[in-house]
Amino acid sequence: MDTEAVRSFVLAAELGQLQHAADELGVTQQAVSKRIAALERELAVRLFTRTARGVELTLDGQAFLPHARTVVAGVDRGIAAVRPEARALRIDVLGFRTGQAVVLHDYWLSHPGTELDVVAVKAGDPREAVAAVRAGEVDASFRTVTDPAALPPDVEMVHVTDFPVELLVGPRHPLAVARTLTPARLRGHRIWVPGIAPRSEWAEFYDQLAADLGLRVDGTGPNFGIEVLLDTLADSADVATLVGTRDRLVWPASYDLRRIPVVNPTIAYPQSLIFRRTNPHPGLAAVIDHFAGLAPPREPTWLPSWPRTPARRG
């Protein structure tokens, strides 16, 4: 079936005149009329009746119209999939309050006219994010496959920056009065990160953090969301957590929560982008440059092992 004939039919149905459909398509009215006539022959039905005011759908035409619209939409989506410059840059982030989303928003504000579609795939296992990239569901994902050798050959991963993390505690916590903290002062204190997803990059991050710096990271309990975690911290004298310095967190003033920088070394969470090796979205390079241009964490810095493993580049 000629998809341009289907598109001509849909426009004629919506606009009510063949000439208006022809103007929209940039062709002659005769060309539109021939396309629709060929479509009617193929379907063996009449799709329109001609009136003094233009064209009106027959019953068969009314039945065919919703399916024709689906065909046209599918063709448009297929074209967009292979011509990424024709659509917004679609990027997956870990959450809309994360530093990833915050920096993307800053980028969007500083680049007027940029079309961005920011989504959260909600995949704990980074292999699911890789699958979304390969399937074209997103152009890029802020996830990390901690063993770059495990990446499929058609996917690329680039380490773009590192986000420092800081301690978040309630006012009754014994460390609440500190202006800065070293990892050594965190030892023995419970750092609660509920619901750490197995096989996730952050599961490996916290495993390495605990092993290298001797910290007590508690991943027990389901993750009921950041609001519940903030409620718990506000009421607790012994629970702390780690958050990114760029994370956008809001809580009631009565909570009096404290964000305390961790230094000597600064604990940093590496940020990587995963995207298709061939035909990446043309807007992606500027986003990578924006993240790469952020100020690095204060030295000395602790990082997990994978940023020291070079990303595979084309």
Instruction: Please state, in angstroms and rounded to a whole number, the distance separating the CA atoms of residues 97 and 36.
Output: 51
Note the pLDDT of residue 219: 93
Chain mean pLDDT for the chain: 91
Res. 279: pLDDT tops 90: no
Helix (H, G, I), strand (E, B) or coil at 62: helix
Distances (CA, A) of 291 to 33, 129, 282: 52, 20, 16
- Which residues in the chain are classed under CATH 1.10.10.10? 3-82
When pLDDT is averaged across residues 33-54 and rounded to a whole number, the result is 92
| Per-residue model confidence as pLDDT tens digits over 63-105 | 999 999 999 888 877 776 666 666 789 999 998 999 999 999 9
Max avg pLDDT among 23-37, 215-229, 230-244 = 230-244
Is the predicted pLDDT of residue 155 greater than 60, yes or no? yes
Helix, strand, coil tally for the chain in percent (to 5): 40, 20, 40
Percent of the chain with pLDDT strictly greater than 90 = 72
Backbone angles phi, psi at 194, to 5 degrees: -65, 145
Domain with CATH 3.40.190.290 in the chain: 163-267
* The CATH number of domain 163-267, selected from 1.10.10.410, 3.40.190.290, 3.30.1360.100, 3.20.20.70: 3.40.190.290
Which CATH code is given to the segment(s) 3-82?
A: 1.10.10.10
Q: Rounded mean pLDDT of 195-223?
A: 93
CA dihedral over 76, 82, 84, 86, signed as positive or negative: negative
Averaged pLDDT, 181-189:
97
Residue 17 has pLDDT above 70, yes or no: yes
89-161+269-308: CATH topology: D-Maltodextrin-Binding Protein; domain 2 (3.40.190)
CATH 3.40.190.10 residue ranges of the chain are 89-161+269-308
Type and span of the H or E element at 208: helix 201-213
Q: Is 54 left (phi over 0), alpha (psi -120 to 50) or beta?
A: left
Alpha carbon distance 238, 96 (integer Å): 28
